[in-house]
A and B are shown apart, each in its own frame.
Chain A
Amino acid sequence: MAKTAGMRLFIRPRLAAGFFVFVIGMVLSVRAAIPGDLATPENLLDPKKLSPEWQELLGNLQPKPALEATFREQRENDFRRGHRVFGGVLRVWGDRGVSLRYEGAIDVTLVAAPGAVWRRPAEGTWTSYAIDPDTGMAAWSRALWNLDLAALAESFTIHGRQSTDKHWELLLTPAGDHRLPRVHLQGDRRALTSLEVEHNPRRRTLYSLEDVNRSPDTGDWVQYFPEPE
């Protein structure tokens, strides 16, 4: 009788052990990426009463008034095995919002602007995207990418901590509306380096940033945002 793949695993214990370690690792990477010990009373942050350390750190991190970085976006869902990866250039520009220029096979720009999400293919015009809900991207991402804790505190409870190795992290937990995501931000003294958005137990998105430039030349940025001044 031909041996099935499952039987072969039991026949080769080392292979089986390696497989289970891999699976457990995968599960942990999805389910335990947001540290459970961050949301403690001692880590609770009040944006109106920030310590000098936090004030200094945020002053260093916030766009002035723009920010540009390359980003990697990893999407994970319960309905699809593995994950999908997108990449491109992220631009944060004051009140204009956040522009994600996706590059690669599909060249499209999505902008979370005040009041709406806009989309534009490489060759085409801006179109508002009517599916982003009240609690969606347009509602909170501008404050998020600007690290505007005062604005975020209107919707989220904020916990944060800084470590001695210049690493810091923030955890945003929905204050009331359960439809809001849970967001975990991490970075160093120079920049925000990763951001994890847990939309719900079945879906999350991980962003990692590189080449962060907090004083970019915004001269030609009009093409990345739908409505210039």
Chain B
Amino acid sequence: MKRLPVAWLLLAICLAGTTWLGTRDLTQRLSTQVTDLLPANERDPGVRLVRSLATTEHARTLLLVVDGLTSPSERSQAHAILDATLGSSPLIAEIWAVDAPQLPEATVETWTDQAVAWFWPQWWEARGRPTDADIIATQVVDALSAFLEQPESAFWEDHITADPFLLVPRSMEQLGDALNLATTTDAPGAEPTARWWVRLAVSPFSKEGQEPVFRLLQEAEAALAKGVPGATLRDAGINRFAAASEAAIRAEITRLNLLVALSVGILCLLCLRRRSILLSLVLIVATTLICGAVVTLLLFPRVHVLTLVIGSILIGVAVDYGLHVFLEADSRSPGERLRKVARPLLVGSLSTIGGFLILTMTDLPMLRQMGVFIAAGLATALAASLLYAATPVSKKPVRGLERIRPGSSARPFFLLFIMLTPLLAGLFQIEWADDIRELDFPLPDVHANDAAVREAFGTEEGTAYLLWGNSWASVATTAEQLDLPETATSLVPWISGPELVQTAHAAATQLPLEKALRDALEEGGFSADAFAPFFDQWNQWTGSAWSAARYEMAVSAQLASLPGPAALMAGGDAQNRWWLIRSPHPLQASFTEHLIPLAQLDSLNAVFTRYRQEAMKAAGIGLGILALGLLAGFGLRIGVAVLLLPVFPALLVLGTLGWLGHSLNLFHLLGAFLSVCLTVDYIVFALQARRWRHPLPASITLSALTTSISFGWLATSAIPAVAALGLTVAPAVLLAWFLALSLTANAQPLGIADTREIGF
């Protein structure tokens, strides 16, 4: 086979792959969300709920603060301007003035229409579950008369005929904390504050939820500055983090890929005598990257960009295979070279591919994606390299590298390694510190702005909990057993449990309330007929049967009616329902599995620890499979050597990091495993060269250099997880190369080719 048809074939594959990628909506397929790094079907209910929190309505919240106002009228103007600019936009679903919240009329009307079904059981419970209709009627009329003597009753007068029990005003008081309805001011000297809570109509992670929203906010600020000179607008929201994170990660991908490509390219240019080889290598690498991306996107509906960041090491690894082929120039013919290269190349690459495929068995989506991306890419690189192995290559294509020899004795090398061995003791000093934030791009400016805006909203003291269950009934029942302190903020007082609703409904059906209330109203100076809306509602409720399904529907409707920030106090899907509870003091509950402290970071970090342990197990299994393969392929002695020699540098690096007091995480572990997979072929080629008393093939040296440079660049990444990976792999690869070099001590110069097959 000639090299040109191979080049055309790879070029065609690249073009086809690029065309396919071009037709995908990559903005939707590639994710920058940290939550996408966690599996959607995570078995820890707490993390599953936290994940749903981060991706649903909670994430759609924007906080706005207007500074520079000098009077209440300016605040009023600011409100009108923001209402006009933001409220009319399809990007905004709801605006809630935190300093002077107003219940939407639609909300009050909905509550009034459903007052009996939603709120009457609580009224009945609060009065000791009375069963005498006359007593109830007298209490209602007395309370109503007293209420109407309050000047502020004017605001309720349009709803009185549907709600003589005053259930809605009472329920509004119960929601006061959750909705910040009872905004107070110690008037003298108080500066007018201007804060708004905004709910986006679009996802903050989507295109529409970012730039268009930022433009809208700019327009609002411009309108504000025009209407209220000196006023400025600050905002905070997930979309700021998402946009900044995406931009930073994209820049990081570009930077790392560019640096790796340039470094590897320059190194190859310096070491390779023939530029045509370089072009072939470029084709191999391009095909590798494109095929890796295509296969990954075919298998995963959404791929995290970190996969691609870490995947940039493919450049450094894929180029190795080509180098092995092209630098085996002493072979007399392509067939002989293929025969010489194929076996060690296959063993080395398949072991690496197998190692990465093990990652697909883990739970962490990113690891699975990375496993597929690199395994698919390396399989492509292997195939392309083997195709090139069957093509003619000019003699001595490499310069300089073959002169790197360990000398006639391996003793100094082994002495050096023996001296380094005590560092392995550091393995026992390793401190694991799993922090989900290591996966995120550090954005200090965005964090600072977010903290400043949130400070204007006041810090929420205490602990937040998620109370969850598989139905609203189970959540409400658990809530009733909680014995929450009065200072706790929750929906517990606002939503009746199923037992209460059922009992109240049963009692209500036995009450001759309409007659008793009509009489009491007439006696109290009211026109009973005017209260027809209430009696209709009462008769409808008592006339229908209670059922668990009806209870679920009623609570869903009740929660759906919540406006503003209160809407965030409950959520979930058909399988998992939750309420948010905020308590100034830790809650003592025996049924902790249904009450999860919302220390989100701790929950996620705990899961992260679990993933590390699972990755450790996966790595162990991977090494076991690798060991079996090597033992089967090479026999006991060589097999053990091929397995243990790459493991030693990896352990040495981890031990050194442990000894230095560097906290390790999942990605250090992953790096160690990766380095073993990457350097197996170094040892295989080194042992082959040792057998033939040849020096270490130049391809191994060049490969080690390109790989360590690739990972060295990763070590400079601003993303701690990526840096951890680079920091582990780069020195481990260099150490493995050094070890391989030492194995070829006492080598004979090339040219006295021993064509005997190596005995493995």
Residues of A whose CB lies within 8 Å of any CB of B are 73, 75, 77-82, 84, 86, 95-97, 100, 102, 105-106, 108, 110, 113-117, 119, 125-137, 179, 199-200, 202-203, 205, 222, 225-229
Contacts and interface: CB of A to CB of B under 8 A. Distances in A.
Nearest to B105: A133
Contacts of B182: 127-128
Contacts of B150: 106, 108
Given A79-B530, A80-B527, A128 B101 contact: yes
A227 B156 contact: no
A199 B186 CA distance: 32
Interface residues of B, number: 46
B418 interface: no
Interface stretch (B73-81, B347-355, B486-494, B552-560): B73-81
B527 A114 contact: no
B20 interface: no
B480 interface: no
A106 B149 contact: yes
Nearest to B194: A115
Contacts of A134: 102, 105
B522 to A, nearest CB: 9
Given A116-B100, A125-B184, A127-B183, A110 B151 contact: yes
Contact of A100 (B104, B151, B157): B151
Contacts of B184: 125-128
A100 B188 CA distance: 19
A226 B72 CA distance: 9
A82 to B, nearest CB: 7
8 contacts: A79-B161, A110-B152, A114-B73, A114-B76, A126-B186, A129-B155, A199-B158, A229-B71
A100 B150 CA distance: 13
B185 interface: yes
B215 to A, nearest CB: 26
Interface in B98-127: 99-105, 108
Given A105-B149, A128-B101, A133-B102, A95 B158 contact: no
B179 A130 contact: yes
Interface in B147-203: 148-152, 154-158, 160-161, 172, 179, 181-190, 192
A79 B72 contact: no
A209 to B, nearest CB: 17
Contacts of B108: 131, 133
Nearest to A126: B185
Nearest to A115: B76
Contacts of A77: 157, 160, 530
B414 interface: no
A78 B527 contact: yes
* For the complex of A and B, 7 pairs with smallest distance between CB atoms: A114-B76, A116-B100, A95-B73, A79-B530, A115-B76, A128-B183, A130-B181
A106 B151 contact: yes
A180 to B, nearest CB: 12
Given A78-B527, A129-B155, A226 B148 contact: no
Nearest to B175: A130
B209 to A, nearest CB: 27
B525 A113 contact: no
Contacts of A135: 105
A79 B160 contact: yes
Contacts of B99: 116, 128
B249 to A, nearest CB: 41
Interface in B203-245: none
A95 B187 contact: no
Contacts of A117: 155
B97 interface: yes
A126 to B, nearest CB: 5
B531 interface: yes
Given A79-B161, A131-B103, 13 more contacts: A79-B526, A95-B72, A102-B151, A105-B149, A114-B75, A116-B99, A130-B172, A130-B183, A131-B102, A135-B105, A222-B187, A226-B72, A227-B190
A160 B158 CA distance: 29
Count chain B CB atoms within 10 A of each CB in A100, A128, A200 and give the residue with the most. Answer: A128
Interface in B591-606: none
Nearest to B77: A114
Interface centre among A81, A82, A115, A227 (most CB of B within 10 A): A115
A179 B149 CA distance: 25
A79 B531 contact: yes
B156 A131 contact: yes
Contacts of B189: 228
A110 B150 CA distance: 11
B187 A203 contact: no
B572 to A, nearest CB: 27
A115 to B, nearest CB: 4
B109 to A, nearest CB: 10
Given A95-B71, A133-B105, A115 B100 contact: yes
A23 to B, nearest CB: 14
B605 to A, nearest CB: 39
Contacts of B72: 95-97, 113-115, 226-227
Contacts of B100: 115-116, 128
Contacts of B77: 114
B71 A119 contact: no
A81 B152 contact: no
Nearest to A120: B187
A116 B180 CA distance: 14
A86 B527 contact: no
